[in-house]
Structures are given as structure tokens and as C-alpha cells.
Structure 1
Amino acid sequence: MKRTLIALVGAISLSACAQAPQPADAAKTPAATTQPAAARPAANTPEARAVEAVRQLNPHVEVERVGAAPLPGFREAVVAGQVVYVSDDGRYLFLPGAGGALFDVNAKKNLSEAAMAQMRVELLKTIPASERIVFGPPNPKYTVTVFTDVECGYCRKLHSEIAEYNRQGIAIEYLAFPRMGIGSEDYKKMVSVWCAPDRKTALTDAKNDRALPNRECKTTVNAQYDLGQRVGLTGTPMILAADGTQLGGYVPPKALREALDRLAAEKAPATGAAAAPSGG
């Protein structure tokens, strides 16, 4: 499978439950690096800068075509089967579509994600701490929010490793996202979990296909589901850092700790100190 530009800069696909894990050999196979002749325009042209911008983000993808765009000030390129738009100065790359994003090529930064992160922080505040199901160590270094579903395979895999996330110093705060929709059997199970006297045990039981008593009560499951849609969720699980940064779908414990450490280090120069870890 060809690596995409968006994967390179860290916007990991959230549709984890709809995807099969990649074979180990596939992950080791590099994508083609030879650019076709059509992607080698004359130097110092908008087309040449467009190709160079793509290569800066990911030198392994294939630029299949580059030419005029319907968007003024941009070139249109076909990259690894995707249409992207690059500003004529090569500074910005726009990836259209449902998961579209605008990248600063020089900074290798997803500008759309940065804007979304700020909004997510405010939206997450609308769900009280008492409505989250928290699995965490006594003194977590990091706390992440995870939108979860009791049926999703990758959600179950993440939960099966909850002790290791905690050993990595990470607290997991679960919010509900019944992916089958409001009123579905999946939704009813999640309401039963949130209505249980011991939510942590009920959630674990539900993810292990253990029978749950049907319960109904006043919950924020509907609000959590709505919130998931508003923060850009397209599949479960969805992991958000304390600053609203999307860290992916299923991410193994060690890799998640490394990602959180990198995020903290990136923020350190701007504040003059290490980013303050969130409490649990």
C-alpha cells in the first residue's frame, strides 16, 4: 500500500475498525521513489515547486501528474492516487475530501488539525469528569481522551492493553461513541454501561462479550456521541491528547507514550518549559 502524505505528517486514519491490520512484510516494503517524467517540470516553475513540496512531506510517494488547478494560486497534482493542491510558492499543500487538511510544507504542520485541536479542548469541557470512565495510574504523566465503542475490534484491543497504558504513565478517559448510532443495540449496551453502578467493570465486561443487565437512566451518552461527530471523529477508537491533538485510532501503549513525549517536547520551546502534563 502506498504511503500517503497525510500519514507522514501524523494525521493517522481513524477508521481503524473498518481496516484490517497490514501484513508485517507490507510495512517493510518501501513505496516507489522513481518519479515519472511528467513529474519533472522545468526548474523554478510553480510545477517544480509543487513537486518539491510533495517530496518534502514524503519522498517515497509517486507524483503522477502536476499541472494547472481550478484554484487560483495553486497547482494540481496527483500523488499516490490522491489529488492535492500546492500553492505556487510551494509553501502550502491542500488535501481535499472528507478528511481534508491544509499543510504548511516548510513546518510540516497540519494547520487544519491545529485549528481543530483548539476547538476540541473547548468541546471536551462540556462533558463532566463524572461522566467519563477513567482507567489511570495513581499519578499519570499524561491523560488522553478516547472515544470508544463496545463492539469495535480495535477498541477492544486497546482496552485489553489498558494496564500497559497505565504502566506507561497514561490515564485513559473514555467517552462513548456507539458507532451504530443512537437507538442501536450497540447504543443500548453503552447506555447500560454508563448506567451501571461500576462503570469500569461494566465496560470491561461489554468489551469481552459478557452479558450485561439492561439498564436505563439519565446519561450523557447522546451528548458524547454528538460531541464525537463535532470533534471530527470518523471511526473508533479516537485518541485525543490534553491539548486536543488527534493522536490516531488504535496506538500501542509504548508508541502512544512516545507520541505524547514528542508532543510535549514540541511545545517546550514555545513556553520555555516542558509542557505541563495533565492530571487524572
Structure 2
Amino acid sequence: MKRLTAALLGALSLSACAQSKAPADAKPADKPAAVAASAPKVAPGTPDARAVAAIRELDQKIRIDRVGAAPLPGFREVIVAGKTLYVSDDGRYLIQGSLYDMRAKQDLSEVSLSKVRKELLKQAPLADRIVFAPPNPKYTVSVFTDIECGFCQKMHSEIAEYNKLGIEIQYLAFPRMGLGTPDYKKMVAVWCAADRKQALTAAKTGRPVPMKDCQNPVSAQYQLGQRAGLTGTPMILTANGEQLPGYLPPQAMRAYLDELAKAATATKTATSG
């Protein structure tokens, strides 16, 4: 039993990268929030309550972002650390994995995750992001980035082309080596710079950025990335919370976003019809 529990907890691990303690001299806003057994409010004795209790048996501290009816009869759907779990209404059985609708040809687990990610992104104000935008963007994507990630650097080197194709890039910080690391401190320096865009470009091209500390959103955005289910950088999300398959060259990203928009329109038409 212990081995099974450990395996499941490993799959639900929030550590896309090593996590370290926040630096001792960090400003109050830099310190990570205290870990709390957060979960949506549920009525006692209900299937939702039993689902939450089942997850709590595995980890008392893990954060639950959503619990509700599942497309699968007799089960509740639970979103934990960017993953979808299905717990039987009596709380006895737990299924981890994607639920695919063969008729609709749709990954229902990803649909639910997208909704949660969309809500999570609302917790990162535009003023806390580093934005590279064309005059009239067709699409906007949120990108959890790290200054030392190779694909993050490659993506940023093509930022002008993304903008030229009508794609607005909104960066959020995700120091993949964890809080309190040199990587984290460099990202804090970027977010504390007078010109964040210039500082981010410098950092991603190997040029020095003056070390600086201030109240900043780096820790909060790092934790947000964990809750969104980040497993590697760059993590790219659409305005609707849909996740793109990692780094995509500008032309490929535009084509991918066009396809998502086309599919959304088709779904809306079918539903309304």
C-alpha cells in the first residue's frame, strides 16, 4: 500500500524542478506562501466531500483546485497540481489519467484542466508580466519562462517574428531550479529592473543584469506554474488555458493557434445548432 501511495504522490509531485527555500533576506512579497491544505468548499457527506477526503488520505497538504461532477458516471473529477483525477462517489476508487470521449474525439481531462488554468492565469496581473506585443495582436499566450532554459532562450530570440505574426507574448517567471537559487535571484533582478523587457533580453542572451531585490511576483508566479501542472519550460498557455506542446517556432505556433481557434468555432457552432 505504501508503495502504491508513494507512486501516486510521485506522479502528483509539484516539483517540475528542484525546490529550495526562499532566500532569508527576501522581501515579504518574495517569500512563498505557507503551504496549506486548500480545497474548494464542499458539503459534508457528499460525493465531493468523499473525493476530497480520499485525496487528503494521500497528502494532507496538497492543494485541490477543483472538485465536481465527472463526465464518467459514478465519479467525481478532482484537479490537483495540474492533473485530473477521478474519484468514485463513495471515495473508494481513484483513477489517474486522461478521459477521452470517443464520439466527440475530445480529451475531456484536458478540457477541464484548461478551465482551471484559465482561472489560475487571472491571478497573475498584467502589470506583473513582461509583455512583448504587436500593435493589434490576433492571439495572446502566457509563457512560463526561465532565463537559463535553452528553448526559452530560442523562443525569445524569435520574439519579433511571433509579434509580426500577430502573437502577443506575456511572460511569467518560473525559475526552474527552484526558489532561493542563483537562477531565482537572477529572475528577481530581471523583474526588479527599471526596464524589464531589456533586462529579460539581456539575461536570456547571456549578458549581465545588475542584481537587485524588490517586492516582486517571481515566487507567486513560480507557485502558479506548479498549480498549472508545469513539467518543463517554456510552458505556453492560450487565453483559454489550453496548453501548447512546448516550444514552437513562430510559424508553427501561429498555425497551431489558428487550428485551436477553428476547432473552438466548430464546437460552438455544433453546440448552438
Which TM-score band (shorter chain)? 0.5 to 0.7
- Aligned AA (2:180): G
CA distance in 1, matches of 2:181, 2:100: 38
Determine what percentage of the aligned residue pairs are the same residue.
Answer: 62
- Aligned AA (1:160): S
Shift of 1:272: 4.5
**SS in structure 2 of the partner of residue 147 of structure 1:** strand
CA distance in 2, matches of 1:178, 1:168: 28
**Counterpart in 2 of 1:159?**
156
**Counterpart in 2 of 1:13?**
none
- Aligned AA (1:195): C
**Counterpart in 1 of 2:248?**
251
Is 2:121 the partner of 1:124? yes
**Counterpart in 1 of 2:237?**
240
**SS in structure 2 of the partner of residue 248 of structure 1:** coil
**Counterpart in 2 of 1:114?**
111
- Aligned AA (2:208): A
CA distance in 2, matches of 1:163, 1:258: 17
Gaps of 5+ in 1: 1-16, 18-95, 274-280
**Counterpart in 2 of 1:191?**
188
CA distance in 2, matches of 1:171, 1:115: 25
CA distance in 2, matches of 1:107, 1:155: 34
Is 2:209 the partner of 1:212? yes
Shift of 1:126: 0.8
**Counterpart in 2 of 1:139?**
136
**SS in structure 2 of the partner of residue 173 of structure 1:** strand
Shift of 1:107: 2.9
CA distance in 1, matches of 2:233, 2:98: 20
CA RMSD of aligned residues (A): 2.1
CA distance in 1, matches of 2:269, 2:102: 25
Alignment of 1:1-280 (within 5 A): 100-272=97-269
**SS in structure 1 of the partner of residue 131 of structure 2:** strand
CA distance in 2, matches of 1:132, 1:173: 6
**SS in structure 2 of the partner of residue 144 of structure 1:** strand
CA distance in 2, matches of 1:259, 1:116: 19
CA distance in 2, matches of 1:246, 1:270: 18
Shift of 1:101: 2.0
CA distance in 2, matches of 1:101, 1:158: 29
TM-score by length of 2: 0.63
Residue by residue over 1:226-265, the C-alpha shift from the partner in whole angstroms, topping out at 9 and shown as x without a partner, is: 0000001001001101100001210111111111111111
Shift of 1:271: 3.6
TM-score by length of 1: 0.61
CA distance in 2, matches of 1:260, 1:182: 32
**Counterpart in 1 of 2:33?**
none
- Aligned AA (2:192): C
CA distance in 1, matches of 2:248, 2:182: 27
**Structure with greater Cα Rg:** 1
CA distance in 1, matches of 2:219, 2:99: 31
Shift of 1:268: 1.2
CA distance in 2, matches of 1:157, 1:270: 34
CA distance in 1, matches of 2:254, 2:167: 7
Residue by residue over 1:196-246, the C-alpha shift from the partner in whole angstroms, topping out at 9 and shown as x without a partner, is: 000000000000110111000001110000000000100100110110000
Between 1:211-220 and 1:100-109, the stretch displaced more is 100-109
